[in-house]
Structure 1
Amino acid sequence: MSTAYYSQPAAANYHTAPSSHSHSQRQRGYRICDQCGTAETPVVRFRLCGGCMTTQYCSQDCQKVHWPSHKQICQHTASQVNAAKLSAASSGYADENLAKYLRKFTSTHTALLGWAGFQALQLKRVPANVRQSALLVELSYQGGDSHRRFSIASTHVVPRTYIRDPLVIDEIRHREDRCRHNGGIGTLVVIIQCGSVSQVMPVEVDPPSKITWDTREDWATVLSHFVDSGRTDFKPISTTSRGVYYG
């Protein structure tokens, strides 16, 4: 990994002491309603689908409208969670709730994981990488409180063919079509894995003209710093012609 010197850290609050955060303070990143495309704001807080814990909606109405097209992938994801619980219970594994915890981890660290994937695939330099590569984040299960259940074991850039589940692949393609229709470059795929349990996080990426995040080669170190510290307040730095801003 490069040891390039940076004049400022990758996050505005990188050097502040870890602290606990209430749900209302948690940094969730910029999310898009899977039905209407509305962007999340501090006023409009999104809700996750209770079945798959993956799709997100700006309102209950949007969730109801989206259900007919979401039903198949939702039930498929929920069945995988239940299968993981049964497997853990039958094998005497330490925690049968691992799949549920992994989905909560992904939701909590949406901004951080999306930023790490963006940096790992070098999308600011080579936007086309979004179509052929994905970031694989392997976790170690630690137990403990909700923000310290996992630590980063390793990270790898892998081919998109690493994902073999047809329904998951179709869901990613659906998001890519929507993203490109709206002028984006495609869907960044981040795979979060702990043992035999995994979660796929698709992130729709804005066009290059709207991408302001600074390019960083120390992304893996930053990812480990926030996850291993139990921090949920990641705020990336962006340098623009109008100055530097955070978030």
Structure 2
Amino acid sequence: MSTAYYSQPAAANYYAPASAHVTSQKQRGYRICDQCGAAENPSTSRFRMCGGCMTTQYCSPDCQKMHWSSHKPICQHTAAQLAGAKQQPVGPAYPDENLAKHLRKFTSLHSTLLGWSGFQALQLKRMPANVRQHALLVELSYNSHADPNRRFSVAGTHLVSRSYVTDRDPLVAADIQRREERCRRNGGIGTAVVLIQCGSISQVMPVEVDPPSKISWDVREDWAEVLHHFVESGRTDFKPISTSPRGIHYG
């Protein structure tokens, strides 16, 4: 892990004790409607999540209905994976019959933290072209913890070839490519890929990335430490530090 010194912590409330975190105040993070591309503003409205795959979000029922014809294949594929995982016998690879469901909930709750970690690991502010070559693999271990927000620990993080993710599943690869094309049409640099894995269960998280000129997140070499810190403490209140002409702010 990095030992780089920073005058500011990487996130708001970084040094607050875990007991001070109110777990009922869930942070949904930055979400994009999969139909129209609108960005969620949690202070004014909440996006709805597809109940089948639990990974795709929409700004309205109308957008969800319009998108169903193109979303149906990946949605049914993801839902089938969830159902199949639940049928597996409990063992080292499947320590909990609901492991796939827990992993998807973990990804949703930590979406901002995971997206920020992928952005930092791929060094996208300095080398935007990395978005097309590499992906971040986050390996988790499962804990039978009474607190549902502390079911997972970070076992390791690795940079892998993006093809390591896309070659595994043609439907997932097609979904990433669709997001990539939409992101570039809107002026972004592409879709960063984060693979979250626990045992034999995995979750792919695509993150559509703005051009560097619009990204205010500070470059941090201690991202792995920050990721470990928030996951281990069961906190979902991560707000990354950003430096803009108006000063330093979090979120």
CA distance in 2, matches of 1:227, 1:91: 21
Residue 53, structure 1, aligned to residue 40, structure 2: no
Residue 242, structure 1, aligned to residue 243, structure 2: no
CA distance in 2, matches of 1:39, 1:11: 22
For residue 160 of structure 1, what is the amino acid of its counterpart? Answer: R
SS in 1 for 2:217: coil
Deviation sequence 1:66-111 (CA, Å, 0-9, x none): 1110000000111111111112359995411000000000000000
The unaligned stretches of length 5 or more in structure 2 are none
* 1:173 Cα deviation after fit: 0.2
Aligned to 2:105: 104
Higher alpha-carbon deviation: 104-113 or 39-48: 39-48
* 1:4 Cα deviation after fit: 1.5
Aligned to 2:211: 207
Aligned to 1:31: 31
Q: Is the contact between residue 92 and residue 199 of structure 2 (CA under 8 Å) also seen in structure 1?
A: no
Aligned to 1:187: 191
* 1:49 Cα deviation after fit: 0.9
Q: Is the contact between residue 93 and residue 200 of structure 2 (CA under 8 Å) also seen in structure 1?
A: no
Aligned to 2:45: 44
Normalization by structure 2: what TM-score? 0.94
* 1:141 Cα deviation after fit: 0.4
For residue 239 of structure 2, what is the amino acid of its counterpart? Answer: K
CA distance in 1, matches of 2:106, 2:204: 12
Pairs aligned (count): 245
For residue 230 of structure 1, what is the amino acid of its counterpart? Answer: G
SS in 2 for 1:20: coil
Residue 166, structure 1, aligned to residue 166, structure 2: no
SS in 2 for 1:147: helix
SS in 2 for 1:88: coil
SS in 2 for 1:53: coil
SS in 1 for 2:206: strand
SS in 1 for 2:183: helix
* 1:16 Cα deviation after fit: 1.3
Deviation sequence 1:107-143 (CA, Å, 0-9, x none): 0000000000000000011000000100000000002
Q: Is the contact between residue 192 and residue 206 of structure 2 (CA under 8 Å) also seen in structure 1?
A: yes
* 1:46 Cα deviation after fit: 1.1
Structure 1 residues 173 and 93: CA distance shift in structure 2, 3 A? closer
Higher alpha-carbon deviation: 110-119 or 38-47: 38-47
Deviation sequence 1:203-229 (CA, Å, 0-9, x none): 000011101100000000000000000
CA distance in 2, matches of 1:63, 1:225: 35
How is 1:48-87 mapped onto 2 (pairs within 5 angstroms)?
48-87=49-88
Aligned to 2:13: 13
* Structure 1 vs Structure 2 CA RMSD: 1.5
The unaligned stretches of length 5 or more in structure 1 are none
For residue 104 of structure 1, what is the amino acid of its counterpart? Answer: K
Structure 1 residues 90 and 236: CA distance shift in structure 2, 3 A? closer
Deviation sequence 1:139-181 (CA, Å, 0-9, x none): 0000222101101000001001112200000000000000000
Structure 1 residues 90 and 223: CA distance shift in structure 2, 3 A? closer
Runs of 4 or more above 4 Å deviation = 89-93
